[in-house]
Amino acid sequence: MSTNVDYDCIVIGAGVQGSFTAYQLAKKNQRTLLLEQFVLPHTRGSSHGQTRIIRKAYQQDFYTHMMEECYELWAQLEREAGVKLYRQTGLLVMGPEESQGYQMIKNTLQKNKVPIEILNRDNFSQHIPNVNLALGDGAMVDITAGVLYADRALKTVQRQFEKLGGVIRDNEQVTDVKPGPVVTVTTSAGVYRAKSVVVTAGPWANRLLAHTGLQLPLTVVKINVCYWKEKVPGSYNVKQRFPCFLLTEFEETKDIYGLPSNEYPGLMKICYHGGSETNPDQRDKTTNRSDIDILQRCVACCFPGLVPEPAVVESCLYTGLGVVTVRILGGAYRVGTTQQLTPDHHFVLDCHPSHSNIVFGAGFSGHGFKFGPIIGKLLCELVLGEVPSYDLSPFRIRRFQDKTKSAL
Ligand SMILES: Cc1cc2nc3c(=O)[nH]c(=O)nc-3n(C[C@H](O)[C@H](O)[C@H](O)COP(=O)(O)OP(=O)(O)OC[C@H]3O[C@@H](n4cnc5c(N)ncnc54)[C@H](O)[C@@H]3O)c2cc1C
Ligand SMILES: O=C(O)[C@@H]1CCCC=N1
């Protein structure tokens, strides 16, 4: 067969997940092509920007388990490339002490023996200056958490992929995917044939999967990425080891998070973990700023050293699972009728139900970056038909037939 194909595998989409998948495939001696619709680097998807949080603090054990190995894989990439990608700051988790969300994170961390520090009202401000802990809130620090240098990480993994002989073609949009024992991929510049294909197209995943007769229950939302000015420069700075933070509840909303000031001197990034639905090709037509009102109240209340008005607002996209339907468009595989689903924020990692040589990774919502190395490993294992290193049942598409729980 190899004489009839141009590549062993074609990966569509050079965001964090596609880039790590291509890198893992090249490490396994697979001749791999990584296709990207835009000129790299770009700011139109989900993987751009200078920083992301890395943490083990999750409500579910399975994410915490995956992160154990993932920290190792990040460190391995740092050594291999001679580049620093991670800075330990700790993650301060705050939330109503008795709430389910806060308690689940605490239990998962304790059960898995992740190093944490529990803070109380008396020692809180000594450890974390310039933050007001709300009445009734508990606080703990996931000590090994920190900041990933996202843009640098993306560039690094793509460079390592090329060093292994992998080929990246950017500014080349995939316009068709024809399934078969050999998959034919048509782009704006040519036609390629491969034994297998991985779709890691972020907000555009469903557009590509439609060519294969599959639609996932994905919703694309625009996130307002807000930066807030320090009243006294340096008071929330990464160099002072100010931690990342996650506030599990504020007023009626869930999940506000932030990172110490770093990429823009004197500005701290604080965002709301949600946004309004958008079309990824018309992202900047969406102008809903109601999340910014919530953030302003949160900053005024909890971060007295910041000016409660964003100094800079940038944009990024989340692709997650919304209250929509899984639709199988004809073809051999049918789940029967259209189904209503409960939203969940878990990833989608699976093989196509009718074409096992088409693998996809999607729905990484607002928390997939830190998992990039392990997602790459898992998608590579699916391509090679190997037993996945982790139980993939929380991530398989068949879960959409079951009732699912909301998770961060
Ligand atoms: C504001 C914000 C904050 C976040 N914070 C964190 C955090 O602190 N920690 C964390 O772990 N995660 C975080 N995340 C989540 C994380 O960044 C995403 O889960 C991750 O980047 C998703 O990567 P991806 O590769 O799936 O998608 P993308 O980065 O969007 O990559 C998909 C790529 O596919 C390309 N593509 C699509 N269609 C085609 C086509 N037809 N042909 C060729 N190429 C195509 C796109 O152009 C794009 O480059 C955050 C996300 C946002 C938006
Ligand atoms: O993934 C992360 O750590 C951040 C913070 C919590 C909400 C989403 N992204």
**Per-domain residue ranges of the chain:** 2-47+151-217+322-401, 74-149+220-319
CA distance 153 to 67: 17
* CB environment 261-286: b (16+ within 10 A), e (fewer): bbbeebbbbbbbbbbeebebeebeeb
Task: Assess whether pLDDT exceeds 70 at residue 137.
Answer: yes
- Terminal CA-to-CA distance of the chain, rounded, Å? 43
CA distance 376 to 391: 15
Question: What percentage of the chain has pLDDT greater than the value 70?
Answer: 92
> In this predicted model, which residue has the larger pLDDT, 149 or 343?
149
Structure pTM?
A: 0.94
Q: Give the model's pLDDT for residue 322.
A: 53
Ligand 1 atom at minimum distance from 172 CA? 43
Model confidence at 246, pLDDT cuts 50, 70, 90, reads: very high
**Most ligand 1 atoms within 8 A of CB, residue of 369, 370, 375 to mutate:** 369
**Which superfamily does CATH assign the domain made up of 74-149+220-319 to?**
D-Amino Acid Oxidase, subunit A, domain 2 (3.30.9.10)
CB 32 within 8 A of CB 11: yes
Closest C-alpha among 56, 98, 46 to residue 244: 56
Ligand 2 centre to CA of 234 (Å) is 23
CB of 94 within 6 A of ligand 1: the answer is no
Model confidence at 287, pLDDT cuts 50, 70, 90, reads: confident
**Most ligand 2 atoms within 8 A of CB, residue of 86, 223, 273 to mutate:** 273
The residue whose C-alpha atom lies closest to atom 7 belonging to ligand 2 is 273
Q: Give the model's pLDDT for residue 399.
A: 86
Task: Assess whether pLDDT exceeds 70 at residue 333.
Answer: no
In this structure, which topology does domain 2-47+151-217+322-401 adopt according to CATH?
FAD/NAD(P)-binding domain (3.50.50)
Please give the distance of CA 3 from its chain centroid, rounded to a whole number.
37
Q: Give the model's pLDDT for residue 329.
A: 42
CA distance 22 to 20: 5
Encoded tokens for 362: 């999607």
Query: DSSP readout, 45-63?
Result: SSS-SSEEEE----SSHHH
Question: What percentage of the chain has pLDDT greater than the value 90?
Answer: 84
CB 295 within 8 A of CB 271: yes
Q: Give the model's pLDDT for residue 321.
A: 74
As for the ipTM of the complex, it is: 0.99
> What are the phi and psi torsion angles at 80 (to 5°)?
-60, -40
**Most ligand 1 atoms within 8 A of CB, residue of 39, 52, 154, 374 to mutate:** 52
Model confidence at 402, pLDDT cuts 50, 70, 90, reads: low
Residue 301: other Cβ atoms inside 10 A: 13
Q: Give the model's pLDDT for residue 286.
A: 74
CB of 225 within 6 A of ligand 1: the answer is yes
Three-state SS at 208: helix
Task: Assess whether pLDDT exceeds 90 at residue 405.
Answer: no
CA distance 338 to 340: 7
- Mean pLDDT value across residues 176-199: 98
Q: Give the model's pLDDT for residue 3.
A: 57
